[in-house]
Each structure stands twice: as structure tokens, then as C-alpha cells.
Amino acid sequence: MVLNKIKINKLIWNLTSEEMKTKILDRASFDISEQIKLIEPVCEAVRNEGDKAIIEFTEKFDRVKLQKDQIAVSEEEFLEAKQLLDEETKKVIEYATHNIRRFHEAQKPEPMWMMEMEKGVMAGEKVTPISDVACYVPGGKGSFPSVLLMLGTPATVAGVEKIIVITPPNKEGKVDPAILYAADILNIHEVYKAGGAQSIAAVAFGTETIPKCSKVIGPGSSFVTAAKLFLREYIDSGVPAGPSESIILADEHADPKKAALDLLIEAEHGPDSAALLVTHCKDIADQVEEQVYHLIASLESDIRRQFVETVLTNYGGIIITDNLEESIRFANEYAPEHIELMVEKPFEILNEIKNAGEILLGDYSATSLFNFVVGPNHTLPTGQYAKTISAVSIHDFLKRSSIGYVTKSGFHTIKDYAAKFADIEGFETHAKALRERN
């Protein structure tokens, strides 16, 4: 085994320059104005030319020429996918779906509730699914059937009537059979071969083949993120889920090999990801660093090795703090997508972690388990959005309407309060509608 020549970032946080601190904290949530410039003409062309533009940009960016009647996945392609897939793959997809469904079913709210505010004055909420949603399944740097399970399952459990999938085709002009198998078991049969900005524009405006949708949800590259931002007036774009990122927060009890392994998980997604070991224990930092070099050298895939090396020398690496409290402060300021607590008593610090898409406790709760099969949703907010936004859930596919019912006697109990409020705000007719009603 030949050890690599790279030197991963290793920063004593209190001695780190402000410029470097900003780079680490901002990671790839950098200014995407360059990508906006690139995708603007793509979106405009899709708006004006529909399928013709989808075909043109799929050829340009995905290097495959589709005919118009190949944009939608056919029933034959679904059947072919089922035949191509081996039994073990099918079983794993089914196992994951089962757990993901159970988890999201547990999130189901009451369909309606009401309370009595005064005698004869009722107020409550009614929950209704969004009528139609497009799930974006990325496809540039890998295939993501798991993403479809994480989007399609909560959409199905929520009761969304029309669920479609958009995903870039592979070099053969096909959709990965595993994605089609996942779609099939979710009973989703509208899958379109379109990715990147062109697919977001397609569901924002509609084309001859791809239907216009009310919402698009799913993770993606900077082109996808830029298109969602650019088209925000036309389509709701859900949880901002960009390049994957994680923090492994360790104390002196962490196992360096496990910490190093888990540090590499999200680092292998792409060069714009971020993966950080955060520890106050210098000894652990040194041991994990050593392990990381060995693990990198042992990676079989050149492209994944390049991604990991780029990540750990760019937005990722090792952060050394003064103590556990500072590590926790750092994590909360960073607001990672995933955080693993590799400390002696993880449950004791759980409540101190305020900002994270997903919090995993102890040495065995590897992020990969939760990426695929445990049940919680892996499509999570990145780039500090975990400060205010949660993981994709069934709530992303539901909306609430307030409801109210007031009887005649209930009306007379509270009308004077409301009429006075209307006077305070100077709304004459608001007041009249109350005072002139008997």
C-alpha cells in the first residue's frame, strides 16, 4: 500500500485565521452566481422550447441523445429493470423501504383537530396533502435509488396524488434499474429522463412530455441548486439539500479507526462535500489522521479517492478545539447535515447539539446505516440550513388549513373584542361586519 502525498487540513481552531474559519464554516454554500449565469439560458430555453431543449441539454450535459418518445420511462423499461436486477439488490431495496415507511408513518399528524376557544367558538386545523410533486433523484456522481426511497416514501405516506420522478439518464439513455425498481415498489410510474437545471425548469413550466408540478424536492449539484433558486417564483423547491457534509465529534474515548472510517463516508460524495473530525483530544486527532491516510490509500475507486482527498484538503479535515464545550459550540455554529457523537456519554450531550440535520449517537451509529436502511430521512439541509430547516419528512408533502366555526351565541361573546381591534387598526368595514350582524 502506497501512502498518499496529500496533507489533510488540521486546524487548531483558536489559532486559525479568520479567512480559513470562514471557508470551513461556509463550505460549498459559496456564491452560486456563476452557476446562475450558466443555468439561466438553460431554464429560458426549456420554458420556450420544452422537450426540444430537454433533448438538447441532455445531450450536452449527460452525453446521451434521446428521442422525444424516450424522455418518459416506458412500461417495458420498468419490466426490463425488474428482470435485470438481482434478487439480493431487490431484497435490500425492499428492506430499506419497509423501515423508511415505518419511520415516516410515525410522523403522520392527526388529519384534523379542533379546540373550543370560548363556548361556541371552535378553531382548529385540517391537514391536506400537496396535490402533485416532482422528486429529483441526482445522477451525476453516482446512482441514488436511496434518494428516491427517501422522497417517494414520505410523499406516498402523506397521500400525494401525483408523484413524478426526474433523474438524469445514464450513458445508455436509461434510468438505473435500481431506481426503477424503487419507483415500482412505491407505485410511482411517471419517471422522466431529465436531470440538472433543465429538469427543474421542466417541472416549473411543464413541457409537452414532463408535467408542470407544484413542488420539486430532492438533493442535487450546484446546477440543480442554482435552478431551484432561479425558478423560486414558479415552483416550491423544498429542503435545500446540497453537497453532503458531516461532523464526527470525538472525545478521548473515540475509536480512531471507526472515527476515520466515518470521516470518509460523506467525503466520498464529491469534491464540494465537507467532512470534519472535531475533537479537543490531540492524541485522537493524530491517530485518526494516521488512519485516514491508510484508508485513503486502500480505496479501490480512483474517483472516490480523488473526492476524499479534495474534501479533506479543502472544506474538510480535522479541527482541534480546547475542550468538549468548544467542540459542541463549533458544531452548533457549523450546523452540519449529519453529526456523529463519538464520545463516552453521547446521550449526556445530545441536548447540547442544537443545530444538525441528523444526530447519531455512539460508535456504531455509522452515517451510512442511516443513509440507507434505518428509516430516518437522509435528505437533509446542508450549508448551515440545519439552523432553521429539518430533514425531509412527511410534513414537506402536507399543508395545514386553519378551520373555524362560531355559533350565534359564540359570536356575541367575542364580537366586541374583534370590533375594537378593527378600530385600533382603522379598518371600518372589518368593524361594521361585526357590529351590524345580530
Ligand X SMILES: N[C@H](CO)Cc1c[nH]c[nH+]1
- In the residue annotation, 189 being an active-site residue is answered as no
104, 280, 338, 378: which is the annotated catalytic residue? 338
Asked whether position 371 contacts Zn ion by CB under 5 A, the answer is: yes
CA distance 183 to 149: 8
Strand, helix or coil for residue 236: strand
Binding mask 253-292 for ligand NAD (x = CB under 6 A): ----------------xx--x-------------------
Q: Which of 159, 218, 146, 186 is nearest to 374 (CA)?
A: 146
Cα radius of gyration (the chain): 25
**Cell numbers placing 393:** 419528512
User: Smallest gap, in angstroms, from Cβ of residue 335 to ligand NAD?
Assistant: 13
**Lookup result for grid cell 351590524:** 436
Hey, what amino acid is at 257? K
Of 220, 256, 317, 383, the one binding ligand NAD by CB under 6 A:
220
Kindly tell me which of 327 and 379 has the beta carbon lying closer to ligand X: 379
Q: Which of 162, 171, 163 is nearest to 139 (CA)?
A: 171
- Is 158 within 8 Å of 241 (Cβ atoms)? no
Measured between alpha carbons, how far is 338 from 376 in angstroms, rounded to an integer? 12
Q: Which of residues 136-195 bind Zn ion (CB under 5 A)?
A: none
Cα 151-157-162 angle, rounded to 5 deg: 70
Considering the complex, state which of residue 279 and residue 371 has its C-beta at the smaller distance from Zn ion: 371
C-alpha cell at 14: 483558536
Give residues in contact with ligand X (CB under 6 A).
144, 146-147, 244, 266, 337, 371, 378, 380
Residue 289 is a catalytic residue: no
Torsion 61-63-69-75 (CA) sign:
negative
Nearest distance from C-beta of residue 378 to Zn ion, angstroms: 7
Question: Of ligand X, ligand NAD, Zn ion, none, which one does residue 148 interact with (CB within 5 to 8 Å by kind)?
Answer: none
Q: Cβ 266 to Zn ion, closest distance in Å?
A: 5
Copy the grid coordinates of residue 238. Answer: 423544498
Nearer to ligand X, 150 or 203 (CB): 150
State how far the Cα of 136 lies from the Cα of 195, in Å rounded to an integer: 8
If the CB atoms of residues 62 and 262 are measured against ligand NAD, the closer one turns out to be 62
Please state, in angstroms and rounded to a whole number, the distance separating the CA atoms of residues 240 and 35: 16
- Total of residues contacting Zn ion (CB under 5 A): 1
- Using CB under 6 A, which residues numbered 308 to 347 contact ligand NAD? 337
Q: Quote the cell numbers at residue 199.
A: 429538469
* Site membership for ligand NAD, residue 227 (CB under 6 A): no
Measured in residues, the chain has a length of 438
Binding segment toward ligand NAD, per CB under 6 A, in 201-209, 241-249, 301-309, 359-367? 241-249
Judged by CB under 6 A, does residue 244 bind ligand NAD? yes
| Active-site residue set | 337-338
Chain positions contacting Zn ion, by CB under 5 A: 371
Chain positions contacting ligand NAD, by CB under 6 A: 38, 61-62, 138-142, 144, 147, 168, 195-197, 219-221, 223-224, 241, 243-244, 269-270, 273, 337, 378-380, 382
